[in-house]
Amino acid sequence: MTQQQWWKGGVLYQIYPRSFQDSNGDGIGDLVGITSKLDYVASLDVDGIWLSPFFTSPMKDFGYDVSDYRNVDSMFGTLDDFCTLIARAHSLGLKVIIDQVLSHTSDQHPWFQESRVNRVNAKSSWYVWADPRPDGTPPNNWLAVPGGSAWTFDSRRCQYYLHNFLTSQPDLNFHNPEVRQAQLENMRFWLELGVDGFRFDTVNFYFHDKELRDNPAVEPGRDQPLGYSRDNPHSYQWQQYNINRPENIEFLKAIRQVMDCYPGSTTVGEVGGNKSLPIMKAYTSGGDKLHMAYTFDLLQGELSPAYVREVIQRFEQDAEDAWPCWALSNHDVTRIASRWGNGDAPELPKLAMAMLLAMRGSVCLYQGEELGLPEAEVPFERLQDPFGMPRWPEYKGRDGCRTPMPWRREGEYAGFSQVDTWLPLAAAHRALSVESQEADPASLLNDVRRMLAFRRAHRALQKGAIELVEMGEECLAWLRSDEQERLLCVFNFSMQAHRCPLPAIAVDAVLLEGSSFHGAQLVTEGTHELALGPYQAAFLALK
C-alpha cells in the first residue's frame, strides 16, 4: 500500500518539454533531450516528473490544443522515444505523469472537423453548439479566459461553438456519454504504455450548464476573484455556469475507476476559476475521485504570513481526507523569484521552497525553480504566447516563465541547444545555471537537494497532519505531526532579523539540522523565543 500511495506527500518535478533540452538542434526541447537529463532530475530526490503536453498539435497554444490524443508531435519525437523515456525514468526510480487535456481539443482534431460539417453527422453533438440569439449575438454572456466572448460563430452549421480558451480550442460536450467514454479510452492507451498517472488540465471545466444561463457579474468593490485584473474582462464574471458544474463529480469517479485498474497510478487536477479551494476539496475527498489537486491560490496572490495562513485555513476547514498538491510556480504564472519579492531578495526563493516542502500535501516543482530563476524579459518581437500578445505590455503573457533551461553558464545557448532557441535565453539566467550551482555547495540548487532530503527523512512532513500556530505577524508557523514525531515549522518572511515568541508546546523543543537553514537560535534566558535571520526558516522537534 505504501508503494501504491507513493504520490501522497510525494514531490513531482514539472518539465515543459519545449524548454528543457534540445537534442536535435532545432532550438526546441524534445523527448530525447528530456531523457538525457533524467539523471539530473533524479539527483534532486523527487518522486517523479510531470510532462506538459507533447501530443500531436498545431501548437496554437503550445500543445494544450491536441489534434491527436494518442501520438507524439514530430517536434518532440516519436512514441518509441516516449517509451524509452519511461523506461529510463523508471530505472532511476522516477514516476512519469503526463498531461491530459480533456476539456477541449484543437479545431484541427478530426472530431471537430467532422462535428462542424452539419448538425446530423456522427460527431455533431461531441462539441458544445448553440443557436444564436434572434439578433445574431452569442447564446449567453460567457467570456473566454483570454478575454472576449467564449463563443465563435461557424458558418457551416450556422451555430456558435463554445471555447473557454482560444477560438482554436473548442470545448467538448461532456454531457454526451460517447465523449466521456472516448476520453477514458485515451487515458487507458497511455496507462498501457506505462505512465504512472495524469495531470488533468482545467479539470473543473469539463461540463457546462445545459440551460446556458448567464454568469453573474462581479460587483465592484465586493469580494473579487483570485487573479482579478481590470485589463481582462474575464475577471468581471463569476464562473458559475460555464465551469464547476455538479455533473463533473460523476465523471471524476469514472476516471478513478479506470485508475484503480492500474495500481500505483495517480491523478492530479488543475482547478482554476473562482472559489477553487472548495472545489479542490470536493474533487479529492472520499477516495473515489481524484487523488490530489491544486489551485492558483499560491500561484497568484501576495506573499505574507497572513495570506498563506488564510489559504491553509480555508483548505483545512472540513478538509477531512481531501489531499492538496501545492505549487508556487508553473508554466502559466510569473516565476516565484520575481512574483514574491520582485526579485530583490535572493534569499526569498529558498524560504519559499522550505515553506512549500513543509505544507501538508504533495508538491509540484517547476523546472528552474530549484535554481531560483527569475521571470525572463522577452521582447515583444520574440513573444510566442497567444494570451500575451493582444494585451502587451500591461500583461506580457506566459513566455517569461517558459524560456529555455540554462544548463551551462558559457556558450551562446547555455547548453540547451546549438542553435537559436524558440524563446530567447535570459541573460540573468546564465549565472544561475545548473553547472554554476552544482559547483557551489551554498547554492540554491544544493540547498533544495538538502531540503528535499530533509522532507524525505521526516514522515510527518510528507503525510502528517497540520495545525497552524500563532507566532506573531512576521512569522508563519505550523505544527506537522504523525504518530512518531511532532515538528514545529517556522518561517520569517521579514527582510529583518526577527525574534518569534515560541508557544507553550515548544518548551522543550530542539532545533533540527539538515534543512539547509543555519543560524537560528533558541533564546531561553528570561524569555522563550526563536531568533531567525531575514527570510530564514527553522524546524524544531517537540518532545
Other C-beta atoms closer than 10 Å to the C-beta of 264 total 13
For residue 468, the cross-strand partners are 478
- 270 has catalytic annotation: yes
> What would the grid cell of residue 150 be?
467564449
Query: Residue 181 phi/psi, 5° resolution?
Result: -65, -40
Return the H-helix or E-strand segment holding 281: helix 276-284
Three-state helix/strand/coil letters over 92-155 = CCCEEEEEECCCECCCCCHHHHHHCCCCCCCCCCCECEECCCCCCCCCCCCECCCCCECEEEEC
For the chain, how far is it from start to end, CA to CA, in angstroms? 29
| 47 is a catalytic site residue | no
Please state, in angstroms and rounded to a whole number, the distance separating the CA atoms of residues 106 and 167: 9
**Which of the following is catalytic: 22, 171, 270, 369?**
270
Of 174, 202, 362, 171, nearest to 272 by C-alpha is 202
What would you report as the CA-atom Rg of the chain, rounded to the nearest whole angstrom? 23
Q: Exposed, middle or buried, 44 (CB in 10 Å: 0-12/13-18/19+)?
A: middle
For residues 156 and 302, what is the distance between their CA atoms, to the nearest angstrom? Answer: 47
Distances 72 to 25, 60, 82, 252, 338 between C-alpha atoms, Å:
18, 16, 8, 26, 33
Element (H, E) at 49: strand 48-51
Pinpoint the alpha helices (H) of 374-507: 427-430, 434-438, 444-457, 459-463
CA neighbor of 26 nearest in space, from 307, 330, 370, 421: 421
C-alpha neighbours within 13 Å on the C-beta side of residue 372: 24
Look at the block and give the residue holding cell 464562473: 239
Annotated catalytic residue: which of 61, 81, 171, 201? 201
* Residues annotated as catalytic (active site), given as ranges: 201, 270
